[in-house]
Amino acid sequence: MDVQKILSAVACVFVFAACSQKSAETVFPENGALDSSACRGQALENKFIVQWEDGSFTTETAANAEEFKEKFIKPQLENIKHVDYDRVIQLQRSSEVSATAFTDSWGQQRIGAPAVWSQGVYGQGVKVAVVDAYVDVSHPQLLPRIAVNTGEIPNNGIDDDKNGIVDDYYGAAFVSQPGNNQTPSSHGSHVAGVIAADSRYGSIEGVAPQAQIIPAQFIANDGGGSLGDAVLAMQYSASRGAKIINASWGGAPCVASLRNAFVELEKKGILVVVAAGNDGRDVDVYPEFPASFNMANQITVAAASVSDFMTSWSNSGFSLVHVAAPGERILSTVPGGSTAYMEGTSMAAPFVSGAAALVWSAKPTATAVQVKEAILKSVDVSSGHEFKVNTRGRINVEKALQYIQQLVP
């Protein structure tokens, strides 16, 4: 311990008897990454993620770290729990593909969704946040599924419901990267459609076609975003009543703020569904965040092919990746009222988010951990081509529904 730290510790004891040696350095360890090969990701030197003692997050800017410590952290030290540099984050890459010989809704059929719908279970009453790029809320199959914020009057420049965000009627954008103009994104719109495209208004059958979508944008149109904006978008999703958060993104460095944000979501009983990533690597060995967090309220999803094998490009991991779900040649909604085929673990994760919405709508009293258990304990394992995931299988929502009905009276 150097002299400065000893002095500040002494001051702490004498001046603030209850502050347990808190200092600007302990709440903001500037090399704050865990010791891991995945600790990379460009730091934004003038933007900071602040977690407050009440668990909430804000992002703040300053000229540099020294100024931030002196002018922001030290005067409010008692109320600050943790600070990180904000960092660059990215969508899980997904690619558009052309159609060949397969059924357009092969994924929905493979996981047994029609058998659940036939029981009157469509995801009604469950809100799923798409924390992603901008969702095209005007798409005819998405518009009826958007969880509008009824306390907000759209486009009047006023924060009518006083939640801190102006005009968040359809959802909210947390994009501090420059150059964002909210052009609807194929990625966000495709993900939203897999979860809840309203099958009454077009050809796409969302897995939970009566669930509601909360669009929470943090990715700019160029595909870039920041960790701090992702944390704010997740926090917003929780405040709007999301039960499930779909996170089809990764590449985050292993900073404490992201893990802390997941812990806060866990406390609120929210399930987070995370794409495993598309680098064809084992995330047990080469961690990817948030895919590798393995939180109690988290399901990390690899991508299954049409032939029910693991795709060649999907990340995997017998410890940290939980299940596989359809991720190849997925047809869903894209901007312009259109549809397109895309593939990636970005498409596999929303199959699990939709399945969780179905399970939850059948048993609204279930906890996030119980919904996770129902999905993980009911996978299909095909002998001869086990998926390299913890459950060794691909999700089956028909079986998951039976499981939750046994688990939760």
The stretch near Ca ion (CB under 5 A) out of 101-109, 156-164, 290-298, 383-391 is: 156-164
Nearer to Ca ion, 236 or 249 (CB): 236
Q: Smallest distance, Å, CB 162 to Ca ion? A: 7
Distance in angstroms (rounded) separating the CA atoms of residues 95 and 334? 13
Catalytic residue among 23, 84, 94, 132: 132
| Structure tokens belonging to residue 377 | 């304990």
Catalytic residue (choose from 82, 187, 190, 322): 187
Select the span of 70-78, 139-147, 167-175, 177-185 touching Ca ion (CB under 5 A).
167-175
Among 7, 10, 11, 158, binds Ca ion (CB under 5 A): 158
Among 167, 279, 284, 373, binds Ca ion (CB under 5 A): 167
Candidates 40-48, 132-140, 148-156, 311-319; binding stretch for Ca ion (CB under 5 A):
148-156
Q: Choose, from 305, 314, 346, 378, the residue flagged as catalytic.
A: 346
Query: Which among 20-28, 105-113, 151-159, 308-316 is the span making contact with Ca ion, rule CB under 5 A?
Result: 151-159
Structure tokens at 202: 């077009």
- Residue 214 within binding range of Ca ion, rule CB under 5 A: no
CB-wise, 120 or 157, nearer to Ca ion?
157
198 binds Ca ion (CB under 5 A): no
148 binds Ca ion (CB under 5 A): no
The window from 121-129, 168-176, 304-312, 384-392 that contacts Ca ion (CB under 5 A) reads 168-176
Smallest distance from the beta carbon of 173 to Ca ion, in angstroms? 12
Among 168, 198, 288, 398, binds Ca ion (CB under 5 A): 168
Spatial distance between the Cα atoms of 251 and 330, rounded to a whole number of angstroms: 23
CB of 252 to Ca ion, least distance (A): 27
Q: Is 229 a catalytic residue?
A: no
Please select the residue that binds Ca ion; options are 8, 124, 163, 367, rule is CB under 5 A: 163
Q: Does 174 bind Ca ion (CB under 5 A)?
A: no
Of 42, 76, 156, 203, which lies in the binding site for Ca ion, with binding defined by CB under 5 A? 156
Instruction: CB nearer to Ca ion: give 97 or 153.
Output: 153
| 279 touching Ca ion, by CB under 5 A | no
Residue 187 bears catalytic tag: yes
State the residues that interact with Ca ion by CB under 5 A.
Answer: 152-153, 156, 158-161, 163, 165, 167-168
Active site residues: 132, 187, 346
